Structure 1
Amino acid sequence: MAERIAIVSDHAAYAMKAELAEHLRGEGYDVLDLGTTSTDSVDYPDYGYRMARAIAEGEVERGIALCGSGIGISIAVNRHPHCRCALVSDGLAARLAREHNDANVLALGARLIGVETARDCVANFLATPFAGGRHQRRVDKLTNPDFAKEPA
């Protein structure tokens, strides 16, 4: 059974979202497209919250969120405690987001990177497992801030 990946964007990133969704389907992924469905102006927080809800409710384990800069939608997604959304602009950052931070949502800025770079980021994000080990303690603190403590 193919892994199910959610993808979401606002109007500014609609074209890149469509290209990435098609590419992912071609790679054998089951793509859950959470919108938007056109270049008509929409509010990115609404779509970021859709992604967060899909993660929290277990519809998908991982997702890709896009807006013009990637900043706004990553903020919206990260407001939910089940999400660890990383805004990246190259493949190495995408790999490290998974390896060290167990990021479950990748954010991309369609006005800042091209589709080939976006594909490279997605490929690294999807291919990289979480390293665990010393990183697990830190991820636990992201998921449950009660575990965090003031540095000495």
Structure 2
Amino acid sequence: MKISIGNDHAGPDYKKAIVKHLEAKGIEVINHGTDTTDSVDYPDFVHPVATDVENGAVDLGIIICGSGNGAAITANKHQKIRAALCWTKEISALARQHNNANIISIPARYTSIQQAIEMVDTFLDTPFEGGRHQTRVDKMSC
């Protein structure tokens, strides 16, 4: 599995912990995020992740900003992206099962690093259910 990750200044510690966790599991990670808490513009780090997912260079993406909202909105501007703002493992699972989300957006200011890692594991391990959900996913794109 290959994952693309990007973050703004709210998430460097989250990103570092997630990357370390994923690499320990043998998952390759492409890092588009900042490593400092100096203020940056999250679209500069989110668009490359969305492009990686959209082009099939990676299997899934992870984006991190303070609330998770701006990052998700930015990623969802890409035609083939379904970025889901998640704040619990259960929502992470549903995002994959029902929406076939291909990017998880994590709100660094509202979750702990441990919660973020658990959400990422759930997101990566949960398959899309298809069936009646496929029809709905097909209607998402204009």
TM score, norm. by length of structure 2: 0.96
Q: C-alpha root-mean-square deviation of aligned residues, in Å?
A: 0.9
1:60 aligned counterpart, secondary structure = coil
Q: Among residues 3, 6, 16, which one is paired with 1:5 in the alignment?
A: 3
CA-CA distance at 1:36 after TM superposition? 1.5
> What stretches of structure 1 of length at least 5 have no aligned partner?
146-152
Q: Deviations over 1:53-84 (max 9, x none)?
A: 11122211201100011111111001111110
Partner of 1:74: 72
Structure showing greater Rg: 1
- Supply the distance in 2 between the matched residues of 1:49 and 1:32 (Cα, whole angstroms): 13
Output the amino acid matched with 1:120: E
CA deviation after TM superposition for structure 1 residue 37, in Å = 2.8
Q: How does 1:1-152 map to 2 (within 5 A)?
A: 3-142=1-140, 144-145=141-142
> How many matched pairs?
142
Q: Deviations over 1:24-65 (max 9, x none)?
A: 101110011112132221101111111111112221120110
Q: Which has the higher helix share?
A: 1
How far apart are the structure 1 equivalents of 2:34 and 2:57? 18
> Where does structure 1 differ by over 6 angstroms across 4 or more consecutive aligned residues?
none
Give % identity: 43
Q: Normalising to structure 1: TM-score of the pair?
A: 0.90
